[in-house]
Structure 1
Amino acid sequence: MSLSLRQIRYFIATAEAGQVSQAAVNLSISQSAVTTAIKDLERTVGAGLFERTPHGMDLTSAGRRFLSQAYEILQKVEEATQLNLVTDKVEGTLSIATTYTVIGYFLPFHIERLKRQFPAIDIQLFELNRESVEEGLLTNRYDIAVMLTSNILNPELMTEKLLSSQRRLWLPARHGLLEKDKVGLKEVSEEDYIMLTVDEASHSTLKYWSQSAYLPKITLRTSSVEAVRSLVANSQGVAILSDMVHRPWSLEGRRIETISLVDPIPSMDVGLAWRRNVEFTPAMEAVRSYFRRSFNIPE
């Protein structure tokens, strides 16, 4: 039996979600399709990739090794399908401003592809907080920004959303809330809460909490996503963070589960930003077109 890209995509979705049901929702397909694809994949590679537990799907040691290879396979396929986009006709210097979360969890992959597709563009990256990015765009210090557009309020800036990353509740494995059919902010408010502060995360969090009848029981504030990951995995509290920064394992190798809450939680939006009425250079147009193609945004 041959290995297919569909099997690889379903495997990655299940590994990232930790549950077949959630993977099926994310892929907009049936659970049976995901289950069948994974079983066929395991037969093809000759090893069990998941350990089935009452709480979800845990990667085996073979599964963790295969996950790394699966990411590489999809990346190579994407690269192959983009060969016709490579051009050396666009040249110039492009200054891109970005923020901590975006440069850490979103941008590196795209920067590598941009530099291969447009080798004559000198891309200069700058990591700053939102206020500094906005000020730099308005004063022409930076040409364009890739940032959390859901945080931008300045009417002098234009934005274009690339993706919306859903925020979910992060829990340690075997947490009691995993057994409940429905979980909302009421149940979360009864748990110790780890508050992430970087990139105005605490402001965004308290904004939607303030619209409810509850408040989080904050036991620690930290600017480190890895600290939140480890603390949650080690049963020191829970957190509500986006799928973009979620990883199913802490640095200690402990499982981090996620739950979609019944209360309305706004997504974390990533996109492009630039000064209103700015004249786009060829380099700016090339980068904007690249992102539009990558995220299927109409030209």
Structure 2
Amino acid sequence: MAFSFRQVRYFIAVADAGKVSAAAANLHVSQSAVSAAIDKLEKDIEAPLFRRRSNGVELTYEGHQFLTHAQNIMAAVSEAARGVHRSGRSLSGKVKVGLTYTVAGYFFPQLLMRFSRSFPDVEFNLVEKQRPQIEEEIVSGELDIAVILVSNLQNVGEINSRVLIKSQRRLWLSADHHLMNEDVVKLSQIAKEPYVMLTVDEAEKSALRYWSATDYAPNVIFKTSSVEAVRSMVATGTGITILSDMVYRPWSLEGQHVEVKPVAGQVHSMDVGLIWKRGKDMNPQTKALYTFLCNNFVDTGYGVGEPTQ
């Protein structure tokens, strides 16, 4: 019997959320990735862990038993990491962290909660700003580290970066949209439809990068900095959009469903990563946060430069 740490993490997330879709959103991965991990885990341990219901999933008897062991595994790993970083003493001090809007709302909070459980004496000074301001404050030393969308990073001469996760972009559309009949949707088809453009966190700039590489352009009927406004307009059939799995939620605030479809062509992912000043020594608490985040996304992380301490 062999299973991975990722499978255990995904299993606990589904058990906590009661829905595969909600667990995928919390983990910032695709629903298919979570489903595949759970299916393989059930095969590996040769037991059904969940009963599938129309409104979600519930643990079987075997699932409840395995959950206890899974939580013990996670606790042991957390304690091991905590022991490495404490070196026999409690790690303390402040960390000044910069966040962009999308990271602050859809990525960092759960991770911060988990880190704080392992390092309760580390204090955070969190600031949300736009990427150019964060880059300036990383270089000036006002921020120790930042978690941002790194696709548009400019000052690569003075800043190191490491990608943590690459979130796939897919087409969002209403449940009754005619493009739901397609297995994969082309940009040429999307260009014919009313399009809702998200602008926050340089989303429009990122979108136009892949559109400009084609002979087509989105038929933009509305621009907004609100992800929830986009979600609502898509759910009601007002328009469609292309956004990442990280910000996807299956329901609008009005309770209407939002569907997704894969997009053909070179639609790049939305990359979330760490940035820090090149050549600057990290204090122990910042290094601990860096290591914690990288370890959580070890399968996708790659970067330019490694931190010093």
TM-score (norm 2): 0.77
Structure 1's consecutive aligned runs of 4 or more residues displaced over 6 angstroms after TM superposition are: 4-8, 15-18, 30-37
Matches within 5 A, 1:1-299: 9=14, 12-13=19-20, 23-24=31-32, 26=33, 29=36, 41-42=50-51, 49-50=53-54, 60=55, 63=56, 78-79=74-75, 81-86=77-82, 87=86, 89-155=90-156, 156-296=158-298
Whether the 8 Å CA contact 2:169–2:244 is kept in 1: the answer is yes
Looking at structure 1, the residues matched to 205 and 235 of structure 2 have their Cα atoms a distance apart, in angstroms, of 24
Looking at structure 2, the residues matched to 32 and 282 of structure 1 have their Cα atoms a distance apart, in angstroms, of 39
Amino acid at match of 2:206: S
| Matched positions, count | 271
Q: What is the CA distance between 1:234 and its match in structure 2?
A: 0.8
Whether the 8 Å CA contact 2:20–2:35 is kept in 1: the answer is no
Q: What is the CA distance between 1:115 and its match in structure 2?
A: 1.7
Looking at structure 2, the residues matched to 107 and 30 of structure 1 have their Cα atoms a distance apart, in angstroms, of 23
Looking at structure 2, the residues matched to 34 and 251 of structure 1 have their Cα atoms a distance apart, in angstroms, of 34
For the residue of structure 2 that corresponds to 1:82, the secondary structure is: helix
Structure 1 stretch displaced more, 92-101 or 79-88: 79-88
Q: What is the CA distance between 1:32 and its match in structure 2?
A: 8.3
Whether the 8 Å CA contact 2:196–2:241 is kept in 1: the answer is yes
Looking at structure 2, the residues matched to 204 and 235 of structure 1 have their Cα atoms a distance apart, in angstroms, of 24
CA shift digits 1:137-188 (9 cap, x unpaired): 1111101001111121212111011110000000111211111233110010
Looking at structure 1, the residues matched to 142 and 37 of structure 2 have their Cα atoms a distance apart, in angstroms, of 49
Looking at structure 1, the residues matched to 111 and 23 of structure 2 have their Cα atoms a distance apart, in angstroms, of 20
Cα gap change, 1:158/1:240 in structure 2, threshold over 3 Å: closer, same or farther? same
Structure 1 stretch displaced more, 220-229 or 287-296: 287-296
Looking at structure 2, the residues matched to 31 and 76 of structure 1 have their Cα atoms a distance apart, in angstroms, of 16
Q: What is the CA distance between 1:28 and its match in structure 2?
A: 8.7
Looking at structure 2, the residues matched to 290 and 7 of structure 1 have their Cα atoms a distance apart, in angstroms, of 20
CA shift digits 1:62-103 (9 cap, x unpaired): x2899xxx9xx7995645642333345322211001110001
Q: What is the CA distance between 1:40 and its match in structure 2?
A: 7.1
For the residue of structure 2 that corresponds to 1:269, the secondary structure is: strand
Looking at structure 2, the residues matched to 109 and 122 of structure 1 have their Cα atoms a distance apart, in angstroms, of 16
Amino acid at match of 2:53: L
CA shift digits 1:199-240 (9 cap, x unpaired): 000010111101111000001000000111111011110010
Looking at structure 2, the residues matched to 223 and 27 of structure 1 have their Cα atoms a distance apart, in angstroms, of 29
Cα gap change, 1:293/1:182 in structure 2, threshold over 3 Å: closer, same or farther? closer
Cα gap change, 1:107/1:219 in structure 2, threshold over 3 Å: closer, same or farther? same
Cα gap change, 1:226/1:173 in structure 2, threshold over 3 Å: closer, same or farther? same
Q: What is the CA distance between 1:195 and its match in structure 2?
A: 0.4
Q: What is the CA distance between 1:27 and its match in structure 2?
A: 5.1
TM-score (norm 1): 0.79
Q: Give the unaligned 5+ runs of structure 2.
A: 1-6
Looking at structure 1, the residues matched to 248 and 219 of structure 2 have their Cα atoms a distance apart, in angstroms, of 21
Q: What is the CA distance between 1:108 and its match in structure 2?
A: 0.4
Looking at structure 2, the residues matched to 181 and 117 of structure 1 have their Cα atoms a distance apart, in angstroms, of 44
CA shift digits 1:46-76 (9 cap, x unpaired): xx622xxxxxxxxx3xx2899xxx9xx7995
CA shift digits 1:123-144 (9 cap, x unpaired): 1100001111001111111010
Looking at structure 1, the residues matched to 174 and 202 of structure 2 have their Cα atoms a distance apart, in angstroms, of 24
Q: Which residue of 2 aligns with 1:55?
A: none
- Identity value in percent: 37
Q: What is the CA distance between 1:276 and its match in structure 2?
A: 1.1
